[in-house]
Structure 1
Amino acid sequence: MARSSLLAFLCLAVFINGCLSQTDQFPWSWGFQGSEARQQHRFHSPKACHLENLRAEEPARRIEAEAGYTELWEPNNEEFQCAGVNMVRHTIRPKGLLLPGFTNAPKLIFVVQGTGIRGVAMPGCPETYETDLRRSQSSGNFRDQHQKIREFREGDLLVVPAGVSHWMYNRGQSDLILIVFVDTRNVANQIDPFARKFYLSGRPEMMRRGEREGRSFRESTGEKSGNVFSGFADEFLEEALQIDSGLVRRLKGESDERDRIVFAEEDFDVLMPEKDDQERSRGRYIEKESENGFEETVCTLRLKHNIGRSEHADVFNPRGGRLSTANFNNLPFLRQVRLSAERGVLYSNAISAPHYTVNAHTVAYATRGSARVQVVDNYGQAVFDGEVREGQVLVIPQNFVVMTRASERGFEWIAFKTNDNAITNLLAGRVSQMRLLPLGVLSNMYRISREEAQRLKYGQPEMRIFSPGRSQGRRE
């Protein structure tokens, strides 16, 4: 009996070990590994970070394209290098198509303005959208097949895994504005701490090699680079794709001057199912609220979550503003790319409590309005004290304490974080560090009376977003 039980146990152990080995071989299974392994998900900077003087950064270069333009932040910026991130902003005009391509690191894309559709080409997944066979035969048209097309709109957070090709199309009536966050120190990137974009078509303007070595990034030569097919011999492509030499030249984009955003021709057509009547009447996208990640397959992954709508707020103060969070709990695939995001709205003169992120760097992009922001380092020095305006980016390193006061016009932002479960620690208000400490500890810390310690501990009843009224009244 004992021998049979032992044999059964060994068989079970071998089976489990085999399953885990298969899981480790699957690149998108990282999120289901143990917490210790998941902590080692970022490469560290080879040199010490100098963060004594943070700056709110504007784009350093603008690249014009046929149907819009792309703005790039300086990749050699000290703060970006330390945090291991790159930032890009695309402005796509109506009927503009961002050409398909892939990057050596995972990306988060926030839709600042507009609506559109996009395709994400998941490796190994079948073409689940296909033209009706009978209709295509009767009309004489060729039967098309492709992977799922996904809609998006303002306020959506979109995920793009490393090495996965995707394209985006502006089907709205106004410009489509996208802010792109690239996590260059993510473990998925095994090249170097720079974002490398590989295009499948066109001849987009690229960075020169010298710019990676620290020389000027702001000056553009306008020189065009090639797409991934440009470097192959013509005869290789003719044989591999079974096409003629003329089509090979078009594939390489030898005479294509449109850059990375092009106008779609009249015959631009993709297959998409029509929304049902219930969804039309509700006038918004229907999202599953009960997903936990295990019921998702690779080919049907949900790669979008809206954090722009007020009903999705996790923190709400009717006088102060709101915060919405996207992490692995409400968008399970974020566990695989080890990233998260936070959408914030501060009303006029409202305050975001002093806080720090325990386990992640924060890269904040101002989407509307302006605010005075202060950031304090481990020496108690203000490394940033100034205005952050719409269109600027501010890097807030891990554990640096930040406090924000909106201007009269209010302030809105999207914050990208380098952890799929970024933890925020508050230093004021309800559920803050002050509330966790005993009165006796507070009074001895600051050499104050017990009554003063009680006011310090319980004086601010609000959480994370503070109304402007009380503090303004005291100043007056």
Structure 2
Amino acid sequence: MKSTNTSRGIHGVILTGCPETYEYSSEQEQQFSGQSGRRGGQHFQGDRRGGQQFQDDRRGGQQFQDRHQKVENLNEGDVVAIPTGSAHWLHNNGDNELVVVVFFDTQNHENQLDDNHRRFFLAGNPQAQSQQGRPRRQETQHRQSGRRQQSYQNAGNILNGFTPDFIAEAFNVDQETAQRLQGQNDQRGHIVNVGQDLQIIRPPQTRQQHQQQQGRRGPSRRSGGWSNGVEETICSMKLKENIDNPSHADFVNPEAGRIANLNSFKFPILEHLQLNVERGELRPNAIRSPHWTINAHNLLYITEGNLRVQIVNDQGNNVFDQELREGQVVVIPQNFAVIKRAGEQGSRWVSFKTNDNAMIANLAGRVSAISSMPVDVVANAYQLSREDAQRLKFSQRESVLFSPSFARGQRASA
């Protein structure tokens, strides 16, 4: 995710029942009108600033302004929360590859089906891309597998299941347009090239960066609900927050790294989604204190470098001990203890947790379970002398992020 040229994108989430608040004024459209042409009985007119104007010849020359719901500029480190079932889209308007890590939670309280993840497309033919590059042997197997497999292969976007005449009547368009909406002859898959920058009304980048630096206190569940209807409503709710900003870090050790957490107090919509996001960075050979998550499961995704991870279950058995590389994922169940150590190049990761205010309990360090116990309790619990128990409690002066052992040795000798 790190590069010399920062990746960027544009993202939109369509919230049901919310108004289309991004629109151009008629003065702007008249001042910046561009070329026009005929497209299937409709007059299309664009302008240099992205305003669009449609004139329907069948409706006596009525004109329509382009308007849509809010659009966000995306930068590296942005976290976007999408409510259950909301339609959304994403466009890479930069010169570099845009890498997006997506986490789906099928155990949310709004899921009335089962634990299987289902997603549907409103446009295009997502099956086309999955079939490209399929080995010939698999194609033969699919042809012989019967009617059910054939219907799956022919599946497309959600409109493909309706008949064209119903679609044409519902959208008030002709049959050719209705068939295009179904995407039956579209072989591009679910990721398409637009050929040029999308002309979209969106806030300037400087304003977005300013908004990222402004904190907002969210509603509290203690008040009787996840939203009080005053600070934020569904339509005005903030859906994006940047987690890569160093000033947002909760734990910082210059020799070890930093950790930033997004919970419902910083990002109120997470209380509705019951999710928590952590961004971690360890310098070469640094260690994250052994700990467990009290009230959530944890999905750990490596975005950069190598990270040695050991996981221990509630019975004290080592259930995982491997070095994870960029792009690899591991799941850490609730109350399973874990310890992380970065490789020679350091490591960065992002964690998704299934609680809006996930709580961590540390085993070692200045703020930990053992250091909070009386010395005599520690001595008797581990069969240590009182002197060794004191040394165990107070030898690790760092709290959450531990610098490499050779660095600690240098500080101790100094």
Q: Give the 3-state SS of the residue equivalent to 1:150 in structure 2.
A: strand
Question: Is the Cα contact below 8 Å between 1:203 and 1:254 reproduced in 2?
Answer: yes
Query: How far did 1:473 drift?
Result: 5.1
Match of 1:129 in 2: 22
Look up the SS of the partner of 2:101 in the other structure: strand
Q: How does 1:238-317 map to 2 (within 5 A)?
A: 238-266=168-196, 268-274=198-204, 279=207, 286-293=212-219, 294-317=230-253
Larger Rg: 2
- In 2 relative to 1, CA 390–273 (structure 1 residues): closer, same or farther, beyond 3 Å? closer
Q: Is the 8 A contact 1:351 1:404 kept in 2?
A: yes
Cα pair distance change 1:224/1:310, threshold 3 Å: farther
Secondary structure of 2:158's partner? Answer: coil
Q: Give the match for residue 339 of structure 2.
A: 403
Q: Find 2:163's aligned residue among 233, 252, 256.
A: 233
Q: Is the CA contact (8 Å cut-off) linking 2:73 and 2:202 kept in structure 1?
A: no
Give the alignment partner of residue 387 of structure 1, picking from 294, 316, 323. 323
Contact preservation (8 Å) 2:301, 2:351: yes
Q: 1:124 to 1:381 in 2, by over 3 A?
A: same
Name the counterpart of 1:432. Answer: 368
What CA distance in whole angstroms lies between the structure 1 residues aligned with 2:284 and 2:196? Answer: 45
Q: What is the CA distance between 1:296 and its match in structure 2?
A: 1.4
- Secondary structure, in 3 states, of the residue corresponding to 2:192? strand
Q: Among residues 317, 320, 324, which one is paired with 2:256 in the alignment?
A: 320
What is the aligned partner in structure 2 of residue 153 from structure 1?
75
Deviation at 1:292, TM superposition (A): 2.1
Query: Do residues 116 (structure 1) and 9 (structure 2) align?
Result: yes
Output the CA distance in 2 between the equivalents of 1:198 and 1:423. 34
The residue matched to 1:230 in structure 2 has which SS?
helix
- Give the Cα separation in 2 of the matches to 1:298 and 1:124: 9
Quote the offset at 1:471 in angstroms. Answer: 8.2
- Provide the identity percentage: 43
Residue 268 (structure 1) shift = 2.9
Alignment partner of 1:446 out of 382, 386, 396: 382
In 1, Cα distance between equivalents of 2:387 and 2:264 = 42
Quote the residue 1:187 is aligned against: 109
Distance in 1 between residues matched to 2:69 and 2:408, nearest whole Å: 55
Q: Secondary structure at the match of 1:178?
A: coil
Instruction: Tell me how far apart the structure 2 counterparts of residues 433 and 201 of structure 1 sit (CA, whole Å).
Output: 53
The letter for the 1-side match of 2:285 is: N
Measure, in 2, the Cα distance between the counterparts of 1:146 and 1:157.
22
Pick which of 420-429 and 149-158 moved more: 149-158
More RCO (CA 8 Å, sep 6+):
1
Paired residues, what number?
Answer: 350
> Does the 8 Å CA contact 2:304/2:347 hold for their aligned counterparts?
yes
- Aligned counterpart for 2:275 among listed residues 339, 342, 350: 339
Write the letter of the residue equivalent to 2:13: V
1:340 deviates by 0.5
Does the CA-based 8 Å contact 2:129-2:189 persist in structure 1? no
Tell me what 2:49 maps to. Answer: none
2-side partners of 1:262 and 1:207: how far apart?
A: 10
Rounded Cα–Cα distance in structure 2 between residues aligned with 1:434 and 1:472: 20
> Gaps spanning 5+ residues in structure 2: where?
34-44, 46-52, 55-64, 131-137, 144-151, 220-229
- What's the Cα RMSD here? 2.5
- Whether 1:416 and 2:352 are equivalent positions in the alignment is yes
* TM-score, length of structure 2 as denominator length: 0.79
Q: Is it true that 1:173 corresponds to 2:109 in the alignment?
A: no
1:369 touches 1:389 (CA, 8 Å); kept in 2? yes
Aligned residue type for 2:22: Y
